[in-house]
């Protein structure tokens, strides 16, 4: 009856396709996930899952590989996020006088972001190869020694470096934008107040960039935590499952072991935890906003 109400029904029509699409391609899988996670199911009995309660969750809970994968993902996410953001912050601030005048420098630094992580992983197979790879070659040539980058003790750290080198540009880019967005008046005002370069950085610039730093840490942690592509192509999950991330754990449970119930139960756990964490973060973020206003 009312104009406003007529508007909102028009708007509702406009979101409908998206909502339907999400219901089909995410809602339905989510339900399937839930049902299968409490069922005894194999590839042969896909259509007649037998509800068995929480035994799948128990299996996951008691699987040491699950905990190993969780530990890997957590460590990997935290370490790469810290390294990428630390390095990115340093480069953004230190190189900003160069980039300001020549923006193509940023284009060069951004290149790794354009390449598929899976391909980067494959590239490192070449880079680190003991006969064909330049890194071992130069190490032999200059130091007369090299070591096994993908061996049991070093694989984790190699993966950290691979991930960090590819995604530092992301943090660098965010920080550079945030750095450039600091109003010059503020910088000039603090100079009038007698701030030295170091003070300026510590008391003015970093606090102003703090929200961006938090966001970058968060995004990089999430991406590191759910890592799949480059790790999978570079080390599989080896040696001895030591580099299986949670994503790889689920993938292998499903495709290699055919343990559908276990894989799905692990998915549900991951789903619940990620949404709980994200929801909590959103809540904190909106509280903050409210407090600032």
**Binding of other proteins by 157 (CB under 8 A):** no
DSSP state of 220: H
Find out whether 222 and 78 touch, Cβ atoms under 8 Å.
Answer: no
The minimum distance between CB 202 and other proteins, in angstroms, equals: 19
Number of residues forming the site for other proteins (CB under 8 A): 102
Q: Which residue, 41 or 79, is less far from other proteins as judged by CB?
A: 41
Q: Which residue, 77 or 79, is less far from other proteins as judged by CB?
A: 77
Q: Rounded distance, CA 258 to CA 62, Å?
A: 18
Q: Which of 85, 155, 233, 244 binds other proteins (CB under 8 A)?
A: 233
Ranges within 272-291 binding other proteins (CB under 8 A): 274-275, 278-279, 282
Handedness of CA 278, 279, 283, 284 (dihedral sign): negative
Give the Å distances, CA to CA, from 139 to 10, 73, 132, 145. Answer: 66, 30, 13, 6
Q: Which of 105, 189, 210, 284 binds other proteins (CB under 8 A)?
A: 105
Q: Rounded distance, CA 201 to CA 90, Å?
A: 11
Q: Which residue, 155 or 260, is less far from other proteins as judged by CB?
A: 260
Q: Which residue, 65 or 123, is less far from other proteins as judged by CB?
A: 123
Q: Which residues pair with 50 in a beta bridge?
A: 40
The minimum distance between CB 276 and other proteins, in angstroms, equals: 11
Ranges within 195-224 binding other proteins (CB under 8 A): 211-212, 215-216, 219, 222
Q: Which of 169, 179, 237, 244 binds other proteins (CB under 8 A)?
A: 169
**Binding of other proteins by 177 (CB under 8 A):** yes
Contact map string, positions 20 to 59, toward other proteins, x by CB under 8 A = -xx--xx-xxx-xx--x---------x-------------
Ranges within 256-275 binding other proteins (CB under 8 A): 260, 263-264, 267-268, 270-271, 274-275
Q: Which of 81, 85, 106, 155 binds other proteins (CB under 8 A)?
A: 106
Within its chain, how far is the Cα of 85 from the centroid?
Answer: 13
Q: Which of 11, 157, 202, 203 binds other proteins (CB under 8 A)?
A: 11
Q: Rounded distance, CA 265 to CA 269, Å?
A: 6
Handedness of CA 228, 234, 238, 239 (dihedral sign): negative
Handedness of CA 235, 239, 241, 245 (dihedral sign): negative
Contact map string, positions 57 to 86, toward other proteins, x by CB under 8 A = ------------------------------
Q: CB under 8 Å to 150, separation ≥6 — which residues?
A: 128, 158, 234, 235, 239
The minimum distance between CB 187 and other proteins, in angstroms, equals: 18
**Binding of other proteins by 149 (CB under 8 A):** no
DSSP state of 49: P
Q: Judging by DSSP bridges, how do beta strands 39-40 and 50-51 pair with one another? A: antiparallel
Q: Which residues pair with 40 in a beta bridge?
A: 50
Ranges within 116-135 binding other proteins (CB under 8 A): 116-120, 122-127, 129, 131-134
For residue 31 the two structure tokens come to 């339900």
For residue 137 the two structure tokens come to 């070659």
The stretch among 51-59, 64-72, 173-181, 235-243 that binds other proteins (CB under 8 A) is 173-181
């Amino acid at each position: 009856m009312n104009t406003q109400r007529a508007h909102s029904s028009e708007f509702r029509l406009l979101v409908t396709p998206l909502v339907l699409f999400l219901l089909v391609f995410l809602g339905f899988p989510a339900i399937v996930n839930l049902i299968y996670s409490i069922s005894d199911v194999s590839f042969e009995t896909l259509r007649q899952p037998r509800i068995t309660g929480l035994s799948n969750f128990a299996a996951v809970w008691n699987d040491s590989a699950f905990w190993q994968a969780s530990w890997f993902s957590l460590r990997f996410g935290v370490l790469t996020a810290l390294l990428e953001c630390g390095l990115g912050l340093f480069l953004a601030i230190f190189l900003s006088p160069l980039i300001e005048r020549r923006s193509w420098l940023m284009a060069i630094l951004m290149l790794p972001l354009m390449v598929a992580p899976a391909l980067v992983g494959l590239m490192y197979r070449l880079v680190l190869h003991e006969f064909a790879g330049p890194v071992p070659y130069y190490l032999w040539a200059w130091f007369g020694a090299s070591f096994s980058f993908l061996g049991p003790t070093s694989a984790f750290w190699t993966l950290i470096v691979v991930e960090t080198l590819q995604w530092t540009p992301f943090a660098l880019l965010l920080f550079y934008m945030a750095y450039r967005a600091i109003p010059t008046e503020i910088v000039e005002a603090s100079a009038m107040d007698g701030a030295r370069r170091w003070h300026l950085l510590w008391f003015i610039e970093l606090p102003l960039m703090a929200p961006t730093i938090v966001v970058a840490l968060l995004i990089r942690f999430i991406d590191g935590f759910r890592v799949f592509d480059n790790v999978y192509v570079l080390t599989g999950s080896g040696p001895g499952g030591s580099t299986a991330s949670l994503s790889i754990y689920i993938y292998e449970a499903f495709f290699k072991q055919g343990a559908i119930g276990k894989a799905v139960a692990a998915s549900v756990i991951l789903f619940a935890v990620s949404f709980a964490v994200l929801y909590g973060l959103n809540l904190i973020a909106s509280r903050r906003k409210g407090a600032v206003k």
